[in-house]
């Protein structure tokens, strides 16, 4: 099953007899509080115009639980997540397409959660809303209750201990900006740096100037250069399990399965007993 869909493919599918359910997951990491600017409001953006039929999903409230010791975007309570998805109209037998404002991170988080909890057919709109050339709507749909019941897989997710082991036995990719990996700056978490043994792999380098993913062959070459081969066990982390999901999605486009450390650096760095590496060297 493909992980992404183009805007033209989506437009065609929406005119068919069994159109996919659309989820609008517009969100962005905001440092507005420190900058004194208003915070980003995804729901307001949605209300101003969305792909017709799309249902808004709130990343902070429906795709994560409250920040705490497990990180800034811990896994949501699965019963609450299932209820939220059913309210949005998600059913196991209906394809789902998720999109965001173009960065792709929030859509990837929804994609990863739905796939990890057992939905068989979820794709991300490549390039997000900016790639859409059709009309927009301000009408809020009232979808019929879905039947989706989350059933998490035994694989695909890492905790802190498993991430530490994988950094030594496989390839653990750090999806954050290089300067955060190296510990030169840290605008959010307690300390800068990276998990010892992790490899710097900013997820922003998986897309082109238009925000769409690079071709699969180019992505495979990129990950190969980072040490990923066909038999490599791969994991990804980021700041809080959002941009890391985008890297897992890029790996899926390249045909490479990978697990996500959901707590990511926000969980890892919150515990002073965990080791921290700095500089460009993974070690």
Q: Are residues 110 and 211 part of one domain?
A: no
The verdict on residue 73 lying in a domain is: yes
Q: Are residues 190 and 78 part of one domain?
A: no
The verdict on residue 161 lying in a domain is: yes
How many independent structural domains does the chain possess?
Answer: 2
Q: Which residue, of 131, 148, 183, is where some domain finishes?
A: 131
Q: Are residues 86 and 173 part of one domain?
A: no
For residue 256, give its domain range. 157-268
pTM of the entire structure? 0.96
Q: Are residues 192 and 122 part of one domain?
A: no
Task: Say if residues 10 and 24 touch (Cβ distance below 8 Å).
Answer: no
**Close Cβ partners of 73 (under 8 Å, ≥ 6 residues apart):** 59, 60, 63, 64, 67, 109, 240, 241, 242, 262, 266
Q: How far is CA 187 from the centre of its chain?
A: 20
Q: Are residues 167 and 98 part of one domain?
A: no
pLDDT of residue 81: 98
Overall average pLDDT of the 184-196 stretch = 95
The verdict on residue 273 lying in a domain is: no
The verdict on residue 249 lying in a domain is: yes
Q: How does pLDDT run across 1-43, given as a tens digit for each residue?
A: 799 999 999 999 999 999 999 999 999 876 544 455 567 899 9
- Report, as residue numbers or ranges, the catalytic residues: 238
CATH number of the domain enclosing 58: 3.40.250.10
The alpha-carbon radius of gyration of the chain (Å, integer) is 18
Among 234, 175, 171, 176, CA closest to 197: 171
Q: Supply 248's token pair.
A: 């897992």
Among 242, 211, 62, 215, CA closest to 129: 211
Q: Which position has the token pair 């985008």?
A: 246
pLDDT of residue 154: 87
């Amino acid at each position: 099953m493909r992980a992404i869909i183009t805007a033209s493919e989506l437009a065609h599918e929406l005119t068919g007899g069994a159109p996919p359910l659309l989820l609008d997951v517009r969100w962005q990491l905001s440092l507005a509080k420190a900058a004194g600017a208003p915070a980003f409001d995804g729901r307001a953006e949605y209300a101003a115009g969305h792909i017709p039929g799309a249902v808004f999903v709130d990343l902070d409230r429906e795709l994560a639980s409250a920040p705490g010791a497990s990180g800034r975007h811990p896994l949501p309570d699965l019963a609450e997540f299932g209820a939220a998805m059913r309210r949005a109209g998600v059913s196991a037998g209906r394809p789902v397409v998720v999109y965001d404002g173009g960065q792709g991170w929030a859509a990837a988080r929804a994609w990863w959660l739905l796939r990890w909890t057992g939905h068989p057919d979820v794709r991300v709109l490549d390039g997000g809303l900016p790639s859409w050339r059709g009309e927009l709507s301000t009408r809020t749909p009232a979808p019929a209750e879905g039947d989706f019941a989350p059933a998490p897989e035994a694989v695909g997710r890492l905790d802190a201990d498993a991430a530490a082991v994988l950094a030594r036995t496989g390839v653990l990719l750090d999806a954050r900006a290089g300067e955060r990996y190296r510990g030169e700056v840290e605008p959010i978490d307690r300390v800068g740096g990276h998990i010892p043994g992790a490899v710097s792999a900013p997820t922003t380098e998986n897309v082109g100037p238009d925000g769409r993913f690079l071709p699969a062959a180019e992505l495979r070459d990129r990950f190969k250069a980072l040490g990923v081969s066909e038999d490599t066990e791969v994991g990804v982390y980021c700041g809080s399990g959002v941009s890391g999901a985008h890297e897992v999605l890029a790996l899926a486009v390249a045909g490479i399965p990978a697990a996500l450390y959901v707590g990511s650096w926000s969980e890892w760095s919150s515990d002073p007993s965990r080791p921290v590496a700095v500089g460009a060297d993974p070690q």
